[in-house]
Amino acid sequence: MVLPRSMVEYATDNITVYRYCLYQCQYCWAHRIPLFRSRIWRGKYDPVKEAEKYLRIRDRRTIVVSFTSDPYIPDEISERKTRKVLLTLSRSNHKVMVLTKAPNLACMLDLDVFIFSNTEMWLGTTVICLEKTDLEPLAPKPQTRLNSLKYAKMHGVKTWLSIEPIIPYITFPEDIVEQTINYVDWYVLGAFNYYNRIKLPKVNRYIPSKFTKRELETWYRIHVPKAIKLLKEYNKPFFIKKELKKYLGD
């Protein structure tokens, strides 16, 4: 069976469980840019049936659940779609990378799946800063997310952290790495994509709602190398996404 390649750089595949997201993150390209939002809404496949396809694939894949919509929105408490997907994938030989702004819900609802899965199953979250921000109005607080990863790690779950998008004056990746280094197993760092098409709400009068490419480049060349230095010092594996690499140069 041949499945389409994933657009996620660090994975071969992606399963989108929900076609909507309730967290309203202001930097989200998937739901704030009409073209991408309409593509997600038009999707018709059953995520559980999609997961079942991987039971018939022998070549080991890396599957993200999920990249364009959060798999642990509050509706999951009653719907349990994500649990059904994870239980199905747990019978496979693939690597499963769960990415959610609500790892607290993942721990509350499905910690048993992560612990007792027959496959390699990771729990990850996204953090752009260490304090609550209006850019993520309905998402759990960053410290709630990080405490949930720490809790999962204590129970033997492999953890990962996406520091993306890195937004000037808001995201200090070196500080995030320093605080999480003891309980995160793998890191992803990424740029603020579509910055010229997404207008952010004013966080305060010192931070612009739009950035220039030059501003992004300056911020990334100062702060990302500090984060990379820390990761190397602690011998932590990490992945730098290609758009961020373009800003960093050599």
Give all domains of the chain, ordered by start, each with its CATH number.
Answer: 13-248 (3.20.20.70)
User: Please, which residues have CB within 8 angstroms of residue 34's CB and are 6 or more apart in sequence?
Assistant: none
Gap between the Cα atoms of 163 and 31, Å rounded: 19
**What is the pTM for the complete model shown?**
0.92
What are the tokens at 188? Answer: 């992803």
What are the tokens at 240? Answer: 């730098």
Dihedral-angle region of residue 10 (phi above 0 means left; psi in -120 to 50 means alpha; beta otherwise):
alpha
pLDDT mean by block of 10 residues, the chain; 250 residues = 65 89 79 56 79 94 90 95 97 96 97 94 97 91 98 98 95 98 98 80 78 93 98 98 91
Gap between the Cα atoms of 227 and 206, Å rounded: 24
* Closest by Cα among 134, 135, 136, 133 to 100: 136
> Which helix or strand (DSSP H or E) is residue 158 part of?
strand 158-163
Q: Residue 183's CB: how many other CB atoms inside 10 A? A: 16
Gap between the Cα atoms of 14 and 23, Å rounded: 20
Gap between the Cα atoms of 31 and 27, Å rounded: 9
CA distances from 44 to 19, 30, 82, 172, 188 (A): 9, 17, 16, 38, 29
Gap between the Cα atoms of 118 and 91, Å rounded: 6
* Closest by Cα among 121, 147, 17, 117 to 76: 17
Helix count (H) and strand count (E) of the chain? Answer: 10, 7
* pLDDT attached to residue 18: 87
* pLDDT attached to residue 42: 65
* Closest by Cα among 147, 145, 150 to 162: 145
Gap between the Cα atoms of 215 and 146, Å rounded: 28
* pLDDT attached to residue 64: 96
Q: b vs e for 210-220, b when ≥16 Cβ sit within 10 Å of the residue's Cβ?
A: ebeeeebbebb
